[in-house]
Amino acid sequence: MIEHINWYPGHMKKTREMIQANLKMVDLVIEVIDARIPISSRNPIINDLIGGKQRVIILNKVDLADSRENEGWTKVFKEEGHFVVPMNCMNGAGVPALLSLLSKYQEARNQELSRKRTLRMMIVGVPNVGKSSLINRLLGKKSAKTGDRPGVTRGKQWLTLSNGMQLLDTPGILWPKFEDPLVGLNLAFCGSIRDETMDLASLALELIGVLQKEYPEELMERYKLVELGEEPLETMEAIAAKRGFILSGKRTDYERTARAVLDEFRAGIIGRITLEHSEDA
């Protein structure tokens, strides 16, 4: 197993300080997480920073995740006392439900305060979970940079929605060290850690091992395999052979195979896959 995956550049330290400095100014925190890895994509530092502040959890990328697990995780987070909105930020599914929730929350808060006040929110999450895509959907225009690579958003941005609500965007924040190596792997599988910092062949081999155990039928169907190898390496080599990823001397092109498997997993092409199960929460 790949161990000691660490990713904590300087701008993430600044993000932590930004959250601390601005938390008192907001009424609500919107936390965006990846539905495929609902635990690994929740930064424990954010929990410490936010404390008891009311939170809306956006279970994003539900279109890429196992539908049964989406339902299970929605239930888990609601039982924790959070608002939960399953969403696909790329096509906007779930955005109307979020706006309705925010309007009701603002109305209830104004009644509690006995005065009208614009709702102010902060959006947080690890890199590449879809924060910028969500912001663009809420604004109805492209004002936040988006990309499928972590680290696109930098700096502090206050944004005003069409309904007058204000939103503070923050860059994605990871934490200094992953105590559980599986957390680092899950984040790397889903693209929340820069590929440039990883050995992609080893990473893809780890992913194949997980899929071989958890979603064998999807893996076999996608790569037209009659059977899976006894070890993940055998399966990886079988995938390479099916795709024609062979170098001179009949050597397996592990790098090309790794890129194909990782890209197709991240795009949902292998299937709707959730790597963390709600029953284990």
> Does residue 163 carry a pLDDT above 80?
yes
226 is in an annotated binding site: no
Q: What is the mean pLDDT of residues 252-260?
A: 98
Q: What is the mean pLDDT of residues 5-32?
A: 79
Alpha helix ranges (H) inside 140-231:
181-189, 200-214, 216-222
Per-residue model confidence (pLDDT) at position 142: 53
Per-residue model confidence (pLDDT) at position 177: 67
133 is in an annotated binding site: yes
172 is in an annotated binding site: yes
151 is in an annotated binding site: no
> Does residue 217 carry a pLDDT above 70?
yes
Per-residue model confidence (pLDDT) at position 143: 52
Q: Where exactly does CATH 1.10.1580.10 map onto the chain?
A: 199-280
* CB proximity list for 82: less than 8 A, separation 6 or greater: 55, 56, 57
User: pLDDT tens, 202-212?
Assistant: 999 999 999 99
130 is in an annotated binding site: yes
Per-residue model confidence (pLDDT) at position 262: 98
Q: Where exactly does CATH 3.40.50.300 map onto the chain?
A: 10-169
Count the neighbouring beta carbons within 10 Å of the beta carbon of residue 82: 15
User: pLDDT tens, 170-211?
Assistant: 888 776 667 788 999 999 999 998 898 889 999 999 999 999
Per-residue model confidence (pLDDT) at position 245: 98
63 is in an annotated binding site: yes
Residue 272 φ/ψ, nearest 5 degrees:
-85, 110
Is the domain spanning 199-280 CATH 3.30.1490.20? The answer is no
> Does residue 31 carry a pLDDT above 70?
yes
Per-residue model confidence (pLDDT) at position 146: 44
CA distances from 170 to 71, 73, 201, 239, 240 (A): 28, 25, 32, 39, 40
Which fold would CATH assign to domain 10-169? Answer: Rossmann fold (3.40.50)
131 is in an annotated binding site: yes
62 is in an annotated binding site: yes
pTM of the model: 0.88
